[in-house]
Amino acid sequence: MRVAATERAADAAEAWVAGFAEGWRAPAGAEGLVANFTPILDPGIRLIQPQLPTLVGYDAFRRGFAEPLFALIPDLHGRVVRWAARGDDVFIEVELRGTLGGRPTRFTAVDRITLRDGVAIERESHLDPAPLLLAVARAPRAWPVFARIQLTGLRMRLSRR
């Protein structure tokens, strides 16, 4: 019995990672990313990431994550470097690339995703923001967009107090 449950969890993790990889391969902007990921996310998805408040739900995913990210890096796309699973948790290293303020940029994130019934109920992203912040600093055209994103995040955090 336990072996069958472990195999089911491994199959669910593998399927989820395949959907994640496909979702980042060529998302075609914020709306494309949302369309790619909505089928593999729980409606109450909880998203935890650096530089942004914790987001909950599809609308927060779109407005608080996808739209600001693609406003900053319109051609963003990614590839899964490696992944592992343990129980209901999946760990994915993803390399993200795009153009920020007219300059190529690249950064890596490691996400921990908790699955329930084959969909993600929580994603916690870990990344060193230094390469992204350095890319913003070197691209003055990106400053207004980055400032808006930071102000929006600050407003969201303050409105929750």
| pLDDT at res. 153 | 75
| pLDDT at res. 1 | 55
Q: Which residues are CB-contacts of 149 (< 8 A; sequence separation ≥ 6)?
A: 68, 71, 72
> What confidence tens digit (pLDDT) does each residue in 57-101 have?
999 999 999 999 999 999 999 999 999 999 999 999 999 999 999
* CATH code where residue 19 lies: 3.10.450.50
Q: At 63, which amino acid appears? A: R
Question: What pTM value is reported for the model?
Answer: 0.88
Q: What would the mean pLDDT of 39-58 be, rounded to a whole number?
A: 93
| pLDDT at res. 7 | 76
Number of domains comprising the chain:
1
Predicted confidence band at 30 (pLDDT cuts at 50, 70, 90)? very high
Predicted confidence band at 5 (pLDDT cuts at 50, 70, 90)? low
> What confidence tens digit (pLDDT) does each residue in 98-153 have?
999 999 999 999 999 999 999 999 999 999 988 889 999 999 999 998 888 888 77
CA atoms within 13 A on the CB side of 146: 17
Q: How far is it, in rounded angstroms, from Cα 39 to Cα 61?
A: 13
Name the residue range of residue 105's domain: 2-159
